Amino acid sequence: MEAYNAETAQMPEQTKRNMIQCENLVKIYKTKDIEVMALQGLDLIVEEGELMSIIGNSGSGKSTLLNMIGGLDRPSAGKLYVDGKDLFKLTEKELVRYKQSTVGFVWQNNARNLFPYLTALQNVQVPMLFHHVKKSRERAIELLELVGMLHKRNSRLSQLSGGEQQRIAIAIALANNPKLLLADEPTGSVDAKTSGYILDVFRRLNQEINLTIVIVTHDINLAKKVNRVVQIRDGKTSSERIMKQSPAKSLSEVAGFASQEAIHDEYAVLDRAGRLQLPREIMEEMGLKGNKVKLELVDNKIIITKPE
Mind listing the pLDDT tens digit for each residue in 31-66? Answer: 777 888 888 888 999 999 999 999 887 778 888 899
Report the greatest alpha carbon distance in the chain: 71
Distance of CA 98 to the CA centre of its chain: 17
pLDDT at 194: 81
d(CA 264, CA 227): 8
Pick from 45, 49, 46, 63: nearest CA to 218:
63
Mean pLDDT value across residues 94-120: 86
pLDDT at 52: 92
Domain boundaries, the chain: 280-308
Say what percent of the chain tops pLDDT 90: 27
**How many C-beta atoms surround the C-beta of residue 108 within 10 A?**
19
pLDDT at 111: 65
Q: What angle do CA 155, 113, 49 make, to 5 degrees?
A: 110
Mean pLDDT value across residues 85-99: 90
Q: Is the predicted pLDDT of residue 188 greater than 80, yes or no?
A: no
| AA identity, residue 286 | M
pLDDT digit string, tens, across residues 135-159 = 788 889 999 998 889 999 999 988 9
pLDDT at 14: 44
**Beta strand pairing status for 294-298 and 301-305?**
antiparallel
d(CA 121, CA 131): 17
Average pLDDT for the chain:
81
Mean pLDDT value across residues 84-104: 90
| AA identity, residue 276 | L
**Beta strand pairing status for 294-298 and 85-86?**
unpaired
If you write DSSP's letter for every residue of the chain in order, what string do you get? Answer: -PPPBTTTTB--GGGTTEEEEEEEEEEEEE-SS-EEEEEEEEEEEEETT-EEEEE--TTSSHHHHHHHHTTSS--SEEEEEETTEETTT--HHHHHHHHHHTEEEEESSGGGT--TTS-HHHHHHHHHHTTT-TTHHHHHHHHHHHTT-GGGTT--GGGS-HHHHHHHHHHHHTTT--SEEEEESTTTTS-HHHHHHHHHHHHHHHHHH--EEEEE-S-HHHHTTSSEEEEEETTEEEEEEEESS-HHHHHHHSGGG--GGGTEEEEE-B-TTS-B---HHHHHHHT--SS--EEEEETTEEEEE---
